[in-house]
Structure 1
Amino acid sequence: MEQGELKQSLSLYQVIMFGLAYMAPMIVFGTYGTLYETTNGFVPYAYLFATIAMLFTAYSYGQMAKAFPSAGSAYTFVSKSLHPSLGFMVGWTILLDYLFLPLVIWLIGAEYLTTAFPMIPSWAWIIIFIVVTTLVNIIGINTTTSMNLLIMIFQLLVIIIFIILCIWSVMHGMGEGHLVSKHILSLKDNPISPILAGAAIACYSFLGFDAVTTLAEETNDPRKTIPKAIMLITIIGGFLFVLVAYVLSITIPNFNAIHNTESAAFEIAKIVGGNFLSALFLSGLVLAQLASGLSAQTSGARLLYAMGRDGVLNKQIFGFIERRSQTPIFNLLFIGVVGIVGVFMSISTSTSFINFGAFISFAFVNISVIAYYFIKLEKRKGLKWIPYLLVPVIGVILDVSLFLSLDKHALILGGVWTCLGFLYLMYLTKCFSKLPPSLAI
């Protein structure tokens, strides 16, 4: 195969659709039961807090994407603005997201399909997901974005129908019996810690906004397009998550009628819409998992490409672009192989990795804005301290708060992964006697 390079061809609209597909708006249904138990029923506030926290971080990602429009995302931002070794460690931790998120997505999709078609084992659905998404991604990025657009339209239609039927049911006496919930709006007798714990889980749904930065080298005018896309994705996604969580909350105020919290939204669909909505819901959720898996595999492949191109990972394998399809084909295949591990893992085990790396990278991207703009470029005059100091400082505080709200299993597993990365960094730098390959040139 001949070596090629990434081609700039994506528009703002395509990048937004990619990010929303990565977020998979219907995932709010899949995680609703877990969040209900974690927050004591105050799910909308978990998503609201997560949205606010992510907006501050999304702004910082946009600022760094303007300065360094690279496929390396947080790895590149931290390397360029702080230190190459620190950038490597951030890149290493965020690999948890990009390598394990496709696996989690395929696992969730397989679980729902196994429930609907018990005669087919879960491992078979995982293999089918991996083969389909890998083949579509190998064909090329424009095929991926076109497929994501169609699936996104279907997802939004399912969400709209679900919301309409829930509102109709509430107005006819179900649940709260009225659209304004005094219980939820009052936050009476509910401590903030369960909501923070819920927000830490809810942030899993927002990983799409940072993933679009990995498309910078394939986007038209990335210095303008990527920052706009990041903010719009976060705002649109946050609005949908809060709205759906609120509507579900007033439809089923308590879980006495729910048999399995992990499939709570599926049961609610049956209650308010019968077999029609439950079938439509299942179809939408599975397609959402397919679109999200496509986007997650795409982003992971681009991050591996950036690290391979820099020589941090094997350059001949991870830094390779296939000339005709203009895709990092070996990276896509590698992520597919990692996904096969999902056959032997549970959803809870694999998800425990993801947010650990996300919150670390989010915090350091905020710090990068301060280091690059406020300190290095000295953007301090007038009110410039607000976007280049105040906003990222608030972002760091919120990210650290969410990080500390993670369960102990996530912290332990993430800590082990980080230690392995540190040992590998020592090997690359010969015990820090030289810079890692990324900026050694």
Structure 2
Amino acid sequence: MSAEFGYRPQLRRSLGSFQVFAVSFAFISVAVGIFGTYDDLLTSAGPVGIWTWPVALVGQLLVALVIAQFAARIPLSGSSYQWASRLTDPRIGWGFGWLTFCYLITGLLAIDSAMASQCLMPLFGMPPDEVVSRVITVIILAVQAAIAIASTWIVGVLNSVAVVVELTIVVVLVVALSVAVALTGHGTLDNLTSRGVTADAPDYFAFGGGLMASMIVGLATLVGFDSAASMAEEAKDPHRSVPRAIVGSVVAAGILGFLFLIALTVAIDDVAKVTASGSPVASILGDQLGHPTERILLVVIAVAFFGGGMVTMTSCARIVFAMSRDGRFPGHRLFRIVHPRTRTPVAATLLPLVIGILTLVVIPGDALIELITSGTLFPAITYGLIVVLYLVVRRRLDTTTGAFDLGRWEVPVAVAALIWTVAAVTVLLAPASARVPLIIVVGLIGLGAIYLGYLMIRRPVALQANRNPTPDP
């Protein structure tokens, strides 16, 4: 199908509908997201902060609907890079591609670093150690890269298994916690309206205050659903399967995640104690279901972490490949090559691994944390720009028979999505702690602007409109 857009098909179309759905769901990963941010919610807004989740769900669903409109019409690797390049100007498309690349690189480091330090090390009883954590992270990155290079089909199968495991365990935990609270009486519905340790916080309702800060749970978790669009050239029937995966993953993750949050919150027996614990989710499960449950949770979280990281690395490789086959990424002659047997872009997959290793070796602890934190800003900014792009170019989009289509609702949905993305970026930038991550984001964007300037001056032919070369293998 890529041939209709001017490319010689090189990637193997091996992903079925559920596997495409699993790509988006694994990136979102409600178990991982809630495990990693529930403590922030308790310390910033208290248990009542979970009610910001439905707001984030509705907002992100609006964005997903807009992205699905694009994905149904231009199902190519590179997603927003391709959409902007073809419908506006390659220079604008390049900017979308660079933002997505930065978003995926920082996201990959965040996922795999957290898997090492917050999941695997506690699971195996290892004391906190930054050096050990970084070594484990490198090993995780290397294994993910090896799998992604070996076969997209294997990535799809392993990722589908990880999603099934995560879906099953989250449903089981929701039911088990509800039963435990009913039988033991430990826990209360009053937690759903409790401000917990923030009851006397003077800036609770202020701009950038506690309640606003609790939005990070939904904003940091319900992202990455567009990853299915990056795998469009490897999906079967992409005009239908990819949009459905994007929207369906947000709906499934949003509903399941909210049920999990409610079950966790009601199950809190001592809010102050749980808030002070190093891992509130594990603490709640240990109190209600016994401490062996903590280890089971860590195993499941490890599976979810690994699946999410593998999808992120694969998506990052696809954006590098997509930009390289158009001659617009540094080292494009190398990164556009697809292995004739595995039908995967080997060098483009190794690039995130190399960048990850160099980052972990060179950047010190505090700076690494700030770099990872900046990853929450990139998707919000990128989504906002995609919505703006849609509002500008929607009349240029061709319709495809049987493909996903919002019909007469497209403008109201897109306008609402734009309002939401502006609000989301504002929420993320409001805390004083966002200043350093913002500087990092601006710096990475500036680095990309320098290379774009190089292309415009030294290689303007690479930025010719509607340039669809068929690269030599």
TM-score of the pair, normalised by structure 1 = 0.89
Query: Which position in structure 1 is the counterpart of 2:380?
Result: 359
Deviation string for 1:343-391 (max 9, x for gaps)?
554673233221222112211221222222247779xxxx988533221
| Aligned residue in 1 for 2:229 | 213
Asked if 1:78 is matched to 2:84, the reply is yes
Q: Give 3-state SS (helix, strand or coil) of 1:425's partner.
A: helix
Quick one: which of 173, 179, 195 aligns to 2:185?
173
Structure 1, unpaired ranges of 5+: none
Measured in 2, the distance between the counterparts of 1:428 and 1:169 equals: 61
2:425 is matched with which residue? 403
Identical columns (%): 22
Q: Structure 1 pair 236/14, CA: closer, same or farther in 2 (3 Å)?
A: same
CA distance in 1, matches of 2:217, 2:9: 39
Structure 2 matches for 1:52-71, cutoff 5 A? 52-71=58-77
* Counterpart residue number, 1:19: 24
Q: CA deviation at 1:35?
A: 2.3
Corresponding letter in the other structure for 1:270: G
Distance 2:268 2:465 in 1: 52
CA distance in 2, matches of 1:262, 1:412: 29
- The answer to whether the Cα contact below 8 Å between 1:4 and 1:322 also exists between their aligned partners in 2 is no
Quick one: distance in 2 between partners of 1:128 and 1:323? 27
Which of the numbers 326, 334, 340 marks the counterpart of 2:351?
334
Structure 2 vs 1, CA of residues 255 and 438 (structure 1 numbering), >3 Å: closer, same or farther? farther
1:122: which partner in 2? 133
Residues 217-263 of structure 1: CA deviation (Å, up to 9, x unaligned)? 11112111111111100100111221111211222276311265552
1:206 shift after superposition: 2.2
SS in 2 for 1:208: coil
1:270 aligned to 2:291?
A: no
Amino acid at match of 1:290: F
Deviation of the 1:432 alpha carbon: 11
Structure 2: distance between partners of 1:316 and 1:261: 51
1:317 partner letter = L
Unpaired runs of at least 5, structure 2: 1-7, 400-404, 429-433, 469-473
**2:63, 2:383 within 8 Å by CA — same for their partners in 1?**
yes
CA shift in 2, pair 1:136/1:440, >3 Å: closer
- What's the offset of the Cα at 1:437? 5.5
Report the more deviating stretch, 344-353 or 274-283.
Answer: 344-353
Q: 1:131 aligns with which of 142, 146, 150?
A: 142
How many residues are aligned here?
A: 431
Q: Which moved more, 1:253-262 or 1:228-237?
A: 253-262
> How many angstroms does 1:203 deviate by?
2.1
CA offsets, 1:169-223, max 9 Å, x none? 32232121x4994558xxx996385444332453222223111100111111211
Q: Distance in 1 between matches of 2:316 and 2:228?
A: 11
Aligned to 2:334: 317
Cα displacement string for residues 385-420 of structure 1 (whole angstroms, at most 9, x for unaligned residues): 853322111111111111122222222211111122
Which region of structure 1 is more displaced relative to structure 2, 52-61 or 77-86?
77-86
Distance change (3 Å), C-alpha of 1:318 and 1:387: farther
Given that 1:62 and 1:228 are in contact with CA atoms closer than 8 Å, whether structure 2 keeps it comes out as: yes
Provide the residue aligned with 2:11 in structure 1: 6
- The corresponding residue for 1:251 is 267
Aligned to 1:280: 296
Alignment-mate amino acid for residue 72 of structure 1: G
Q: In the alignment, is residue 299 of structure 1 matched against residue 306 of structure 2?
A: no
